[in-house]
């Protein structure tokens, strides 16, 4: 592989006795939109702040174009950032905020004016140029922050949960706006979020963080279709985990026994176990409610019509709630109602097998 | 397309309902009558009487004001007054800003301890504090003795009975007002604002002058105005710690009334002081009122 644009090499960060980042290595090519996804405290934000230069790693290396960024102060890193909180300068107008990074770089006046106009057009806020931040909505403020971060054509744009303070509708509007701006500018983006849907919607690649380390790197589809761990499977998309026992292993295809004693054949073992206790993960959309005699038995405790899908919760004989989502066109006859006895059917090949640690 | 979205943005901003205006209390006048009457009788009338005297004694005309501004002794007093008030304000700002910063960022215990000390010094009797400075600033006082003992100076510094002494004593009294004015604005500052400035390419100096100071300007202006106005009319500290050459306006007024019995000139000086104070207040309201930014 040729030299990566941005490379993190075995980054570690210890705060007193607590390890925030535990050996993160990552390569990001120029122009990619990468999302750091993970629960709070997983090290994703800390890693971002290491790139920004606000946190000095305890060990490891950050390379941009092959040159170390460590020891370079944030104001010389040529990195743009949009923060979780609104960080526009309250005493400056929208246009002055966008001009700020160019003014401190002592660019010529004409160039600054042209760039401010260009940025205002980019974020569709030309009409707001003379307003103060306090007169803007939260979504508009974050768009100005985005314009300010891009005004000086930074090498990398960092975004630290920039939409988490906005409501859902506005968040989706801004997601498509961010996607469009990424496409128009071609800037390399590192985007931190704990919202898997946001990560799936925006990213070229997702870096899934857990406990200060990287759990899995891949496209959204990789993570959803081929989760590398039970954590990845549980974090991306909805999932049901069922404790099972692998009874027999035939060329990596297993016979397993479910908690209610029923058995299944043809579960891919993915080389993860020979025999013994394990878990299978099933996506809600891979399960169907059947009236046939086989499958796991249970009864419906909740049924909700969600427009394109029907969502059921089924309580199994061993007391576990299983989520089932049935696409609208798959409805056969009247859908099952609360209290109905049903059986859960699925193709064994759709089950993911994990061995709990 | 771009325009359409921009216009949509405008509409959205306009469509947001304005926050409901706070309901005004009605019929507030009647209960205020005693207080207003008191102010009218004990403040407005005497001020008018003073103005009248300054214009009529010893005869009708502006001769008292002309004397105040044209006589070099009196002009000197005016200059001294402004010099001391300006120095005290400037030094209080220079000392108060780091102190207020410390209060905002220090661990809770230290912040409260230092704040307690600042407040305690405000609550201590003014005369007691000024007499304490008299003892400290004497030629044979602790400060001079210490400096001579360490060998930094050979002869005592002229601290007592000079403008230096007055400024030192007054800064000590005024400093808490600056700290109190800056504490709120400093606590409201968001640290990520400076991270943003830094990533935007601003050096520490640029972040300080272009982000930090402008954001603190209203607090600095409020504290500065309080201190400057109070200093203009200050009496006890200048008269106890200052000398005859460094007389300030309030001392001059006292002398004119008590020693020279020149009520006309004293009235003119008092009125001048009042006008100066009110104009400074007007400037502050016009340019630094915290409400201004919100109404925009």
Sheet arrangement for strand A18-28: A18-28, A6-15, A59-64, A67-68
Instruction: Report residue B8's pLDDT band, with 50, 70 and 90 as the boundaries.
Output: very low
Higher local confidence (pLDDT), B120 or A204 = A204
Supply the pLDDT for residue A144: 95
Sign, Cα dihedral of B239, B242, B244, B248: negative
H helix or E strand, kind and range, residue A210: strand A205-210
For A55, the token pair is 């946190």
CA distance B211 to B218: 13
Closest Cα in chain B, distance from residue A156 (Å)? 11
DSSP at A92? S
How far apart are the two ends of chain B, measured CA to CA in Å? 30
**DSSP string across A241-288:** EEEEEEEEEETTEEEEE-TTS-EEEEEE-TTS-SSEEEEEEE-GGG-E
For B186, the token pair is 């400093």
Residues 6+ apart with CB under 8 A from A256: A244, A245, A246, A247, A263, A264, A267, A278, A280, A353
Asked whether A66 and A9 are in contact (CB, 8 A), the reply is no
Which ranges constitute the DSSP H helices of chain B? 2-15, 29-39, 45-56, 63-70, 72-105, 108-123, 126-137, 142-150, 163-188, 191-199, 204-207, 213-232, 236-241, 249-258, 263-288, 290-295
Chain A residues touching B200 at Cβ < 8 A: 75, 100-101, 104, 148-149, 152
Task: Give the three-class secondary structure for A123.
Answer: coil
For B149, the token pair is 């003992």
H helix or E strand, kind and range, residue A68: strand A67-68
Chain B residues touching A137 at Cβ < 8 A: 12-13, 16
Closest Cα in chain B, distance from residue A160 (Å)? 12
pLDDT in tens, chain A (357 residues): 456 899 999 999 998 888 899 999 999 999 999 999 999 989 999 999 999 999 999 999 999 998 999 989 999 999 999 998 889 999 999 999 999 999 999 999 999 999 999 999 999 999 999 999 999 999 999 999 999 999 999 999 999 999 988 888 889 989 999 999 999 999 999 999 999 999 999 999 999 999 999 999 999 999 998 888 889 988 888 889 999 999 888 888 888 888 888 888 888 887 777 788 889 999 999 998 887 777 788 889 999 888 888 899 999 988 899 999 988 777 666 777 888 888 888 888 888 888 876
CA distance A206 to A232: 11
Residues of A at the B interface, defined by Cβ within 8 angstroms:
52-54, 73-81, 83, 85, 87, 89-91, 100-101, 103-105, 121, 124-128, 131-132, 134-137, 140, 145, 148-149, 152
DSSP at A194? S
Closest Cα in chain B, distance from residue A55 (Å)? 11
Flag if B195 and A52 touch (Cβ within 8 Å). yes
Q: Which domains does chain B have, with CATH numbers?
A: 62-295 (1.10.3720.10)
Supply the pLDDT for residue B14: 42
Supply the pLDDT for residue A332: 65
Nearest to A87 among B9, B193, B294 (CB): B193
Residue in chain A lying closest to B206 (CA): A104
Burial class (CB in 10 A: 0-12, 13-18, 19+), A167: exposed
Using a cut of 0.95, tell me whether the model's pTM lies above it.
no
- Give the number of A-B residue pairs with CB atoms closer than 8 Å: 95
For A299, the token pair is 């009864």
Higher local confidence (pLDDT), B23 or B219 = B219
Chosen from B8, B195, B201, B216 to mutate, greatest number of chain A CBs within 10 A: B201
Q: Check CB contact of B6 with chain A, cutoff 8 Å.
A: yes
CA distance B80 to B181: 26
Asked whether A131 and A93 are in contact (CB, 8 A), the reply is yes
Interval B266-277: pLDDT, tens: 999 898 888 988
Flag if A124 and B6 touch (Cβ within 8 Å). yes
- Among residues B73, B14, B6, the alpha carbon closest in space to that of B260 is found at B73
Chain A residues touching B203 at Cβ < 8 A: 75, 104
Q: How far is CA A185 from CA A95, A180, A196, A286, in A?
A: 20, 9, 24, 39
Asked whether A7 and A68 are in contact (CB, 8 A), the reply is no
Instruction: Report residue B27's pLDDT band, with 50, 70 and 90 as the boundaries.
Output: low
Interval B55-108: pLDDT, tens: 988 888 888 888 888 888 888 888 999 999 999 999 999 999 988 888 887 888
Supply the pLDDT for residue B5: 39
- Among residues A31, A30, A11, A142, the alpha carbon closest in space to that of A88 is found at A142
Asked whether A205 and A217 are in contact (CB, 8 A), the reply is yes
Supply the pLDDT for residue B38: 93
Which ranges constitute the DSSP H helices of chain A? 44-52, 94-104, 109-122, 138-150, 168-185, 196-202, 220-225, 230-235
Instruction: Report residue B9's pLDDT band, with 50, 70 and 90 as the boundaries.
Output: very low
- Among residues A137, A193, A207, the alpha carbon closest in space to that of A164 is found at A193
Least reliable range by pLDDT among A238-247, B1-10, B50-59: B1-10
CA distance A50 to A73: 11
Q: What backbone phi and psi angles, to 5 degrees, belong to A353?
A: -100, 130
């Amino acid at each position: 592989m040729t030299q990566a644009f941005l490379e993190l090499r075995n980054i570690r960060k210890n705060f007193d006795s607590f390890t925030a980042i535990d050996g993160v290595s990552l390569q990001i090519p120029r122009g990619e939109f990468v999302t750091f996804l993970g629960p709070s405290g997983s090290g994703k934000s800390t890693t971002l702040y290491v790139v920004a230069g606000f946190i000095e790693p305890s060990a490891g290396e950050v390379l941009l174009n092959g040159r170390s960024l460590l020891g370079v102060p944030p104001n010389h890193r040529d990195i743009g950032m949009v923060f979780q909180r609104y960080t526009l300068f309250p005493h400056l107008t929208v246009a002055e905020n966008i001009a700020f990074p160019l003014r401190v770089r002592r660019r010529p006046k004409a160039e600054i004016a042209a760039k401010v106009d260009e940025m205002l057009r980019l974020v569709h806020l030309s009409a707001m140029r003379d307003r103060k931040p306090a007169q803007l909505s939260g979504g508009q403020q974050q768009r100005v922050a985005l314009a300010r971060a891009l005004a000086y054509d930074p090498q990398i744009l960092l975004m630290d949960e920039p939409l988490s303070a906005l409501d859902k509708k506005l968040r989706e509007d801004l997601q498509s706006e961010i996607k469009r701006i990424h496409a128009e500018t071609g800037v390399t983006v590192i985007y931190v979020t704990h919202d898997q849907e946001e990560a799936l919607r925006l990213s070229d690649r997702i870096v899934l963080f857990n406990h200060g380390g990287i759990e899995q790197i891949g496209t959204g589809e990789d993570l959803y279709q081929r989760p590398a761990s039970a954590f990845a499977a549980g974090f991306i998309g909805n999932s049901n985990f069922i404790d099972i026992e692998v009874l027999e292993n035939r060329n990596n295809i297993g016979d397993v026994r479910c908690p209610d004693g029923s058995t299944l054949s043809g579960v891919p073992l993915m080389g993860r176990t020979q025999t013994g206790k394990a878990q299978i993960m099933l996506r809600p959309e891979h399960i169907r409610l059947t009236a046939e005699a086989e499958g796991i038995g249970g009864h419906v405790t909740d049924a909700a019509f969600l427009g394109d899908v029907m969502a059921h919760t089924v309580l199994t004989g061993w007391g576990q709630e299983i989520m089932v989502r049935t696409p609208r066109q798959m409805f056969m006859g009247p859908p099952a109602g609360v209290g109905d006895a049903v059986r859960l059917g699925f193709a064994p090949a759709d089950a993911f097998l994990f061995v709990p640690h | 397309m771009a325009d359409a979205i921009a216009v949509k943005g405008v509409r959205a901003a306009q469509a947001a309902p304005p926050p409901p205006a706070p309901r005004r209390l009605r019929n507030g006048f009647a209960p205020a009558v005693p207080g207003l009457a008191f102010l009218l009788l004990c403040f407005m009338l005497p001020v008018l009487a003073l103005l009248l005297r300054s214009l009529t004694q010893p005869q009708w005309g502006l001769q008292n004001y002309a004397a105040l501004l044209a006589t070099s002794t009196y002009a000197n007093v005016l200059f001294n007054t402004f010099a001391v008030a300006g120095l005290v304000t400037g030094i209080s700002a220079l000392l108060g800003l780091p102190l207020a910063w410390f209060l905002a960022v220090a661990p809770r215990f230290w912040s409260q301890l230092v704040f307690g000390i600042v407040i305690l010094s405000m609550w201590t009797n003014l005369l007691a504090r000024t007499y304490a400075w008299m003892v400290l600033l004497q030629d044979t006082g602790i400060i001079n003795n210490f400096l001579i003992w360490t060998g930094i100076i050979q002869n005592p510094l002229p601290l007592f009975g000079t403008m230096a002494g007055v400024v030192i004593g007054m800064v000590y009294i005024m400093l808490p007002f600056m700290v109190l004015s800056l504490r709120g604005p400093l606590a409201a500052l968001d640290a990520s604002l400076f991270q943003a400035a830094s990533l935007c390419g601003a050096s520490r100096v640029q972040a300080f002058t272009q982000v930090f100071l402008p954001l603190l300007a209203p607090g600095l202006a409020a504290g500065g105005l309080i201190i400057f106005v109070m200093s203009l009319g200050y009496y006890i500290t200048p008269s106890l710690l200052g000398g005859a050459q460094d007389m300030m306006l309030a001392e001059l007024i006292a002398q004119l009334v008590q020693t020279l019995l020149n009520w006309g000139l004293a009235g003119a000086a008092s009125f001048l002081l009042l006008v100066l104070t009110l104009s400074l207040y007007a400037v502050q309201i016009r340019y630094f009122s915290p409400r201004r930014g919100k109404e925009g």
